[in-house]
């Protein structure tokens, strides 16, 4: 049975959210933005109109989510009164409290995602480390973990590129994950993931350590302006491998994009290479490859901004791209994040996509400083 203090705590957290989100101002703002859609020529510029509708939808999300939460708290308080009259049980009140608490925490986490790019989808790339089959198997396990996470949260996924391992697993994979705030939540996964287990591929049954790197970039949509210079783009085509019927191996549907990139801040030159075999349609694969290029260029600009901010805030703890972030020790039944010290013994749940605890711990510790950058 929940206590009076627990009820007061949840009421205070909801009141705090009202203040942080400035709900009253948002209600005024959404009315003003909706008035802009009433002009006669609103849909003449379709792209501009759709951008305006997305803006309104974004404001409505916060108002609707807070209103629903406020209603849940009122129902919880009413249930406490009903208990005295014997109309509800203690178990029903506890269940209502747990649901309300879960929604409060969800909105608190979403409120931490303040950066412009947080609301976007994500391009997630996994590369196996040194170690052959063992590391390639580990990379495939991580791929399944993120696909299961996306499925749990209702995100849409597509495999943009997949390179199979020599005997088992994968050497690399690029996954597009589309959905509101997918990047905001999954940016915490960027870095090196370490596996320790008794290897099924080792005849002596030795304990082996494997590594795989995860690279996370925002999935840029049409609302984000990124300049791609056509003169710096070149294309190759190739036959896609793997199963899928006659068309896969006989038609050069796979595309390889090369972009000669020059860093506008340092002058350094770099060739960006992207392969896409997502569909059997070459034009569609070219479109997808260009989308990935725009995401990479956008991410480079973001990193530059973060590096500049880091110079100013040299005293703050910095998360290094490519650093070892998490260990998965199977025989000890332990998964531990080295940045936040959050850990769990439920290894199976984690590998089945249950990484929300790690994401929450990361956001609780680092989201505030990220938002200032």
Query: At 66, which CATH number?
Result: 1.20.58.410
Could you tell me if 217 and 235 lie in one domain?
no
* pLDDT the model gives residue 158: 94
Boundary-marking domain end, from 96, 112, 128: 112
Beta-carbon contacts of residue 64 (< 8 Å; ≥ 6 apart): none
- Convert 144-169 to b/e letters by CB count within 10 Å (16 or more is b): ebbbebbeebebebeebbbbebeeeb
In terms of domains, do 214 and 331 share one?
Answer: yes
Q: How far is CA 185 from CA 114, 123, 323, in A?
A: 12, 12, 18
28 and 138: one domain?
Answer: no
According to DSSP, residue 7 is labeled H
Q: Both 195 and 329 in a single domain?
A: yes
Last residue of a domain, one of 53, 88, 112: 112
* Three-state SS annotation for 147-213: HHHHHHCCCEEEEEEEEECCCCCEEEEEEEEECCCHHHHHHHHCEEEEEEEECCCCCCCCEEEEEEE
Q: Are residues 340 and 270 in the same domain?
A: no
Sheet holding 170-178, edge to edge: 156-164, 170-178, 121-128, 207-219, 191-198, 324-329, 334-337, 343-344
The domain boundary, picked from 79, 112, 145, lies at 112
pLDDT score at 244: 46
**Main-chain phi, psi angles of 343, to 5 degrees:** -145, 160
CB within 8 Å of 353: residues ≥ 6 apart: 145, 146, 147, 148, 149, 150, 151, 152
Q: Are residues 219 and 350 in the same domain?
A: yes
Classify residue 239 by its DSSP letter.
P
Residues 6+ apart with CB under 8 A from 206: 198, 199
What confidence score (pLDDT) does residue 253 get?
86
Order of strands, sheet of 269-276, starting from the edge strand that comes earlier in the sequence:
233-238, 254-262, 269-276
139 lies in the same domain as 206: yes
Confidence (pLDDT) at 278: 87
Shared domain for 361 and 345, answered yes or no, is: yes
pTM flag (> 0.85): no
163 with 256: CB under 8 angstroms? no
The range of the structural domain enclosing residue 240 comes to 230-312
Number of Cβ within 10 Å of residue 10's Cβ equals 20
| Cα gap 131→61, rounded to integer Å | 46
One domain, residues 296 and 348 = no
197 and 257 inside one domain:
no
Phi, psi of 103 (to 5 degrees): -70, -35
Please tell me the total number of residues recorded for the chain in this structure.
373
Per-residue confidence (pLDDT) for residue 310, from 0 to 100: 58
Give me the residue label for tokens 């791209």: 321
User: Are 172 and 249 contained in the same domain?
Assistant: no
pLDDT score, position 315: 35
| Residue-level pLDDT, tens digit, the chain, 373 residues | 888 899 899 999 999 999 988 999 999 999 999 999 999 999 998 888 988 998 899 899 899 999 999 999 999 999 888 888 888 888 999 999 999 999 998 898 888 888 888 988 999 999 999 878 999 999 999 999 999 999 999 999 999 999 999 889 999 999 999 998 999 999 999 999 999 999 888 778 788 899 999 999 888 766 566 889 999 999 999 887 654 444 445 577 899 999 999 988 888 999 999 999 988 899 999 999 999 999 999 888 888 877 765 554 443 333 344 468 999 999 999 999 999 999 999 999 999 999 999 999 999 888 755 555 5
Q: Could you tell me the CATH number of the domain that includes residue 358?
A: 3.30.70.1660
Q: At what angle do helices 46-84 and 90-112 cross, to 10 degrees?
A: 150
208 and 273 assigned to the same domain: no
Instruction: Note the pLDDT of residue 222.
Output: 60
What is the number of structural domains in the chain? 3
H-assigned helices in the chain? 4-21, 23-35, 46-84, 90-112, 133-152, 182-186, 246-250, 282-312, 347-351, 356-372
Question: Which CATH number covers residue 294?
Answer: 3.30.160.20
């Amino acid at each position: 049975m929940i206590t009076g203090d627990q009820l007061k705590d949840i009421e205070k957290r909801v009141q705090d959210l009202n203040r942080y989100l400035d709900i009253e101002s948002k209600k005024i703002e959404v009315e003003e933005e909706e008035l802009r859609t009433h002009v006669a020529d609103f849909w003449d510029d379709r792209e501009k109109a759709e951008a305006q509708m997305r803006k309104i939808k974004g404001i409505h999300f916060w108002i609707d989510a807070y209103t629903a939460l406020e209603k849940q708290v009122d129902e919880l308080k009413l249930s406490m009164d009903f208990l005295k009259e014997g109309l509800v049980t203690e178990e029903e009140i506890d269940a209502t409290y747990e649901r309300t608490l879960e929604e409060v925490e969800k909105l608190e986490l979403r409120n931490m995602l303040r950066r412009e790019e947080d609301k976007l989808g994500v391009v997630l790339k996994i590369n196996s480390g040194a170690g052959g089959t063992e590391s390639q198997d580990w990379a495939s396990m991580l791929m399944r973990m993120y696909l299961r996470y996306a499925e749990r949260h209702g995100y849409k996924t597509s495999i943009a590129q997949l390179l199979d391992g020599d005997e088992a697993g994968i050497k690399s994979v690029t996954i597009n994950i589309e959905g509101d705030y997918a990047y905001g939540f999954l940016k915490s996964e960027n870095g090196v993931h370490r596996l320790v287990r008794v290897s099924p591929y080792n005849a002596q049954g030795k304990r082996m350590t494997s590594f795989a790197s995860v690279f996370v970039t925002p999935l840029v949509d049409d609302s984000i302006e990124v300049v791609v210079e056509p003169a710096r783009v070149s294309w190759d085509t190739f036959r896609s491998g793997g199963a899928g019927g006659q068309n896969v191996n006989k038609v050069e549907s796979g595309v390889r994009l090369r972009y000669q990139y020059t860093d506008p801040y340092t002058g350094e030159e770099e060739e960006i290479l992207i392969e896409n075999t997502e569909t059997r349609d070459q034009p569609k694969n070219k479109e997808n490859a260009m989308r990935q290029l725009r995401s990479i260029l956008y991410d480079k600009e973001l990193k530059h901004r973060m590096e500049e901010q880091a110079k100013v805030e040299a005293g703050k703890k910095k998360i290094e791209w490519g650093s070892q972030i998490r260990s998965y020790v199977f025989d000890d039944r332990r998964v531990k994040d080295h940045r936040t010290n959050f850990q769990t013994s439920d290894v199976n749940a984690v590998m089945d996509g249950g990484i929300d605890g790690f994401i929450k711990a990361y956001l609780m510790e680092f989201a505030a400083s990220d938002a200032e950058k």
